[in-house]
Copies of this chain bind each other. A is one copy, B any other.
C-alpha cells in the first residue's frame, strides 16, 4: 500500500489525475520530506534538480536584487506544486514560511513520468495556467496599487487561500480569524513595500476597525466590505 493513500492532498494535488497504478509508480520515485520554518528546499539560480507537492504548510518563492532587496514572487499552499520541470534553472528560491511537509521528486524522474502520463501533464498545465493568472493579478497590485490597497488586497488573497482544507482557519462569519504565515518583513517582501509601511497600514486598518490584531501572527477580519473597498 502506498503512502499516497492517506495523503490529505491526494485529491487536490496534481496526483488527482492519476489512477491507483500510476500513483503507486509515482510514489516509488518520490519521498516525503519535512521542513522547518525558514528552511529552504530550492535555491535561486541553481539548476532545477527537484520538484515537489506541498502536503502541509506554506512556502514562499523569492528572488532578490543585487543590492539585497528581496521580492517574494509566489506563495504556495497545500496541494500546490513546486519547482520547475523540463530542464531550466530555477529563477527563485523556495523556502518554508511555516513548518511544512512536501512530497519531493527528482526533476529528471518527474519529467520522464510526466511525459509518459499525459493526464499528469494536463493537470500540471491547468495548475500552471492558474498560477500565471494569479501572478499577473499580482503584477497589477505591484505596479499600480497604493500601499493601503496592497495591504488590503494581501489580506483578502490570504483569506481566500487559507480557506481550504489542510489549513487551520476559524471560519465563522462575519469575523474571520486568520493565522498569518508571514512576518511583517515577509509581507513587505510580497507587496514591494518596507516593513514600516506595512506596519503603519495594518495599524491604520486596526484603528479604523476593519481588522483586529490579537497578536503578531493573527489577523481578524472585522469588516470584510471595508477591506474589499480598500483593496482597489
Residues of chain A having any CB pair with chain B under 8 Å: 61, 63-67, 69-71, 73-74, 84-86, 88, 91-92, 115, 118, 121-122, 124-126, 128-133, 135-140, 142-145, 191-192, 232
Residues of B within 8 A of A122 (CB): 115, 118, 121
B121 adjacent to A125 (CB under 8 Å): yes
Complex Cα–Cα for A136 and B74 (A): 8
A144 adjacent to B91 (CB under 8 Å): no
Residues of B within 8 A of A85 (CB): 129
Complex Cα–Cα for A166 and B84 (A): 28
Interface residue from B121, B130, B139, B191 paired with A118 (Cβ < 8 Å):
B121
Residues of B within 8 A of A132 (CB): 128, 131-132, 135
A137 adjacent to B192 (CB under 8 Å): no
Q: How many copies does the complex hold?
A: 2
Nearest chain B residue, comparing its CB with the CB of A91 = B133
Residues of B within 8 A of A91 (CB): 133, 136-137
Interface residue from B121, B191, B192 paired with A121 (Cβ < 8 Å):
B121
Residues of B within 8 A of A65 (CB): 140, 144-145, 232
Residues of B within 8 A of A67 (CB): 232
Complex Cα–Cα for A131 and B131 (A): 11
Known: A125-B128, A132-B135. A191 touches B143 (CB 8 A): yes
A192 adjacent to B144 (CB under 8 Å): yes
Complex Cα–Cα for A124 and B118 (A): 12
Interface residue from B74, B118, B125, B192 paired with A143 (Cβ < 8 Å):
B192
Interface residue from B73, B84, B118 paired with A140 (Cβ < 8 Å):
B73
Residues of B within 8 A of A143 (CB): 71, 142, 191-192
**How far, in Å, is A148 (CB) from chain B's closest CB?**
13
